[in-house]
Amino acid sequence: MAKKENISLILWGATSIESTEDGYVNKSNVVGKEGFIRNLRNVKKFFRIFPHMINYYFFIVLQRFQMGIPKKYIFNVLNEVPFPKKQIKVIYFFNYIKYDPVKIIQTLKKELKWKSPINKENRFDCLLHSLINHHTLQLLGISSDGYIYSNLVRNGILRRSEALIKERHVEKIVDKECRDIIKELNLKNYKMPIIKNSL
């Protein structure tokens, strides 16, 4: 897209704290490649992550094929894809600004009078995100958002009590949100699985 639209700069701001991907394949994770290599030296960890690693590698290579990325970059999945002809520069936002979602939200509300649903500041504008929360709640007893809240707690950004309030709110509203989405998309034959009781 950047090449097609003649965009010279890509500003990227994902973080390992927000990501629900496995850390060993997440380039922005603090352990990075060194931590990945350390995990490979641990026999138990190696056998635990190996099937996931193969699965990840297969799909990321497939995605690169589908995106038409130059062949010499398709199989090197741990490195960024350069744009040598168009001189497109990728800037990782959080190399320059400390990631602090609580402060970011407070600033948006104070400076720009920004508003969001109660206890749901993140991803509330994504129509399908509730389905992801429902799926992870049904499988694991914790929502996708709850996984991120846990990361925030572990990194000292959010209190555990605050994270629990937010997670309970997701549990309370996710079923209705999913049913509203199913109705809006006219998925008449879709039957939602029941969420088992979590914590």
Q: Report domain extents, the chain.
A: 9-95, 101-184
Say how far apart CA 64 and CA 24 lie, in whole Å. 19
Answer yes or no: is pLDDT of 199 > 50.
Answer: no
Q: What is the DSSP letter of 3?
A: T
* pLDDT per position as a tens digit, 67-124: 777 777 788 776 666 655 556 666 777 777 777 888 888 888 899 888 877 767 776 6
Buried/exposed 158-195: b ≥16 CB within 10 Å, e otherwise: beeeebeebbebbbebbbebbeebbeeeeeeeeeeeeb
Q: What is the pLDDT of residue 29?
A: 40
Confidence (pTM): 0.58
For the chain, the 3-state helix, strand and coil shares in percent, each to the nearest 5, are 55, 5, 45
Q: Shortest CA distance to 93 belongs to which of 23, 20, 14?
A: 14
- What average pLDDT does the structure give for the chain? 75
